Amino acid sequence: MTHEKKHRIIGIIGVLFLATVLLLNVVLVNNAAKRELARKEAELAALSPDAVSLKGTGKGIDGDVVVQIIADAEHIYDVQILQQNETQGIGSVAVEQLPGEIVKNNSILVDGITGATVTSNAIKTAIREALASGGFDPAVFEVELAAAAPVEKTDETLECDVLVVGAGGAGLTAAVRANQEGADVLVIEKMPMVGGNSNRAEGGMNAAGTKLEEELGLLDPSLGELQSTVENYIADTYRLGHDLANMDLVRTLAENSSEAIDWLGSIGAPFTDVEPTGGCKGRKYLHQPEGGEPVGEYLVTRLSKVIADQGIEVMLNTKATELIVEDGQVVGVKAEDKEHNYTIRANAVVLATGGFGANFELMSSYDPSLANAVTTNHSGATGDGIMMAQAIGADTVDMEQIQLHPTVIQENGLLVSESLRSKGAIIVNTEGKRFVNDLAARDVVSQAELKQPDGYCYIVFDQALVDGLSLAQKFIDRGFAISGATYEELGKNIGLSDEAVKNFVATMEKWNEDVKNGEDTEWGRESLDYDLTTAPFYAIKIAPGIHHTMGGIKIDTEAQVIDTDGNVIPGLFAAGETTGGIHGGNRVGGNAVCDFVVFGRIAGANAAAFAAEGVLAAAA
């Protein structure tokens, strides 16, 4: 028997053995099953007398990843994931693919899944721990894999009406919309999973003048300045972007936001809650899914379902490298995967490739201080679309406008969503004091944090907040939130000095009193809907991190790409973070999602119309 065949047989037997063991744990143990187990054990023992079943644990993105392996000193025969709560569409890809790769190569040194590093590492750590617990040396399985023979790539030509480049929020939205308009749509995505940065958006989607706001009384004229109207939303977006944005684009964003919410409802992604948006003086635009589910994952999952239901093809691991231009019109892209060089011909192309918040070279060319900063961005956010568009003459705007988010866990770039503050969390420094309106615009809070002693701060919340906002729980599960039964205990647990603990207790009591009286006497925060009185109390250590690149490809209100002479580039549309001009010098929290839905819809509808008729859609 060849080694490979023996290995495969042992693997199959191992799987059966493990399945049997698990079954026996939960189902009645009967004699027949016992006999079967004995038989499998005997078979496994005959092939590998030392193979044993072992468990190990690694830290995933959202709690422990527990694996069960069958191994001996020289072979890993089987890997099963017993427990995990990884992000759907990101970590879940590693959970599906990595165990098989490790068994196939008999090595832990297989490549992790790009974009799912934390989960990949958690699985590997868990396997190492399992091996060690059985007395096996994990180093035996740390063998470098022989470099794969270079693949001779084949040329392939594909055709479609509308090609969408990038499968984040903007790309998925544009694809669904173009398909609804009757176009034959193809989506290409360079990563092994869809979702991009959009999948990481947590807080919500801003929109104004929506049916939900109407139902909740937020459009009542008696609210005066607090009304969630389109005009207030335009003013807030423009003001918070330091009056730098393109007003026509801001207006398009706001005026189409309510319809975008309706459209999401129509495709199975309704919103049930509206909270204050950071920096907007208490005005409520931030639409959230039921129970505070993270909005990005919520929308990406639902858009992906529509994509699957409508039979739209998404080619993963396929990277666009250049735009094809004929007679001044974009007619497709060149793209590649591991085995092919593609020429994809399309009547219209939508660039939805996201921002460049993971391209440190490009960012530091605008601001050298960002070279060593932490980023919340996924590794695919490298600005490819911007560079491809520039290469054919497209103009860019506001490229130097790069946003720092104020609440980022520095060890891993994990973002603590603004929705925690919308739901009542506050920020204190290491002296136990508040130092800013915690719900001011992101740049204001980030700059204030950078001036605090020690260069980091704490976001503080209570159990009532966690109960109403499911995404807060993950910080507790992953060990990033330190807790205390009282304010004093929490202050001590996060390591504040005795003096700072006293300050912290006073800060919390003052905050609760201010909430009761409806006025933040210290820092003028406008939304004071929730006190922080339900024990236990929690604090997460945070500091600013790179979050959003506001600049990008210049577009008009029809999502058409504009060249450096101010003319439309026919056949080329762009939407989402790859574009510039919508957010000016600072993106409002909740506006990235609104941006990708509103402009994704416009780009999709217009690309479909252009592909069919050579003209734009009457209305998106």
Which is nearest to 291 in space by CA: 271, 318, 317, 263?
Answer: 271
Which is nearest to 471 in space by CA: 294, 254, 242, 272?
Answer: 294
- Give the separation between CA 247 and CA 234, rounded to whole angstroms: 8
Catalytic residue status for 601: no
**Nearer residue to ligand ADP within complex by CB, 78 or 577:** 577
Helices (H), 72-136: 91-105, 117-133
**Tokens for 162?**
């509308």
Q: Which residues bind ligand ADP (CB under 6 A)?
A: 165-171, 188-191, 196-198, 319-320, 352-354, 380-381, 384, 576-578, 596
Query: b/e for 337-371, b at 16 or more Cβ within 10 A?
Result: beebebebbbbbbbbbbbbbbbbbebbeeeeeebe
Task: Round the CA-based radius of gyration of the chain to a whole number and report it.
Answer: 26
- Give the separation between CA 618 and CA 620, rounded to whole angstroms: 7
Question: Which SS3 state, helix, strand or coil, does residue 298 take?
Answer: helix
The nearest distance, CB 93 to ligand ADP, in angstroms, is 12
The nearest distance, CB 190 to ligand ADP, in angstroms, is 4
**Nearer residue to ligand ADP within complex by CB, 201 or 226:** 201
**Nearer residue to ligand ADP within complex by CB, 58 or 112:** 112
DSSP output for 275-288:
EEPTTSTT-EEEEE
The nearest distance, CB 383 to ligand ADP, in angstroms, is 8
CB atoms inside a 10 Å sphere around CB 321: 14
Amino acid at position 6, single letter: K
The nearest distance, CB 267 to ligand ADP, in angstroms, is 16
Bridge partners (DSSP) listed for residue 427: 459
Q: What φ, ψ does residue 44 adopt, rounded to 5°? A: -65, -40
The nearest distance, CB 498 to ligand ADP, in angstroms, is 45
**Nearer residue to ligand ADP within complex by CB, 541 or 547:** 547
The nearest distance, CB 235 to ligand ADP, in angstroms, is 24
Helices (H), 54-207: 91-105, 117-133, 169-180
Specify whether the CB–CB gap between 119 and 95 falls below 8 A: yes
Integer angstrom CA distances of residue 160 from 59, 188, 312, 560, 594: 43, 12, 11, 19, 28
**Nearer residue to ligand ADP within complex by CB, 81 or 163:** 163
Query: b/e for 104-117, b at 16 or more Cβ within 10 A?
Result: ebbbbebebbbbbb
**Nearer residue to ligand ADP within complex by CB, 66 or 163:** 163
Bridge partners (DSSP) listed for residue 459: 427, 540
**Tokens for 130?**
């399992």
The nearest distance, CB 204 to ligand ADP, in angstroms, is 15
Specify whether the CB–CB gap between 185 and 369 falls below 8 A: no
Helix (H) or strand (E) holding 580: strand 579-580
- Peptide linkage before 138 cis (omega within 30 of 0): no
The nearest distance, CB 174 to ligand ADP, in angstroms, is 9
3-state DSSP percent of the chain in helix, strand and coil, to 5: 40, 25, 35
**Nearer residue to ligand ADP within complex by CB, 349 or 381:** 381
Specify whether the CB–CB gap between 552 and 399 falls below 8 A: yes
The nearest distance, CB 341 to ligand ADP, in angstroms, is 14
Give the nearest residue (CB) to ligand ADP.
168
The nearest distance, CB 552 to ligand ADP, in angstroms, is 9
- Give the separation between CA 180 and CA 160, rounded to whole angstroms: 15
- Give the separation between CA 513 and CA 506, rounded to whole angstroms: 11
The nearest distance, CB 191 to ligand ADP, in angstroms, is 4
Integer angstrom CA distances of residue 201 from 80, 196, 293, 296, 458: 30, 10, 10, 4, 21
**Nearer residue to ligand ADP within complex by CB, 381 or 448:** 381
**Nearer residue to ligand ADP within complex by CB, 196 or 424:** 196
- Give the separation between CA 238 and CA 248, rounded to whole angstroms: 11
Catalytic residue among 442, 478, 525, 587: 442
3-state secondary structure 203-238: CCEECCCCHHHHHCCCCCHHHHHHCCCHHHHHHHHH
**Nearer residue to ligand ADP within complex by CB, 124 or 378:** 378
**Nearer residue to ligand ADP within complex by CB, 110 or 381:** 381
Residues involved in catalysis: 442
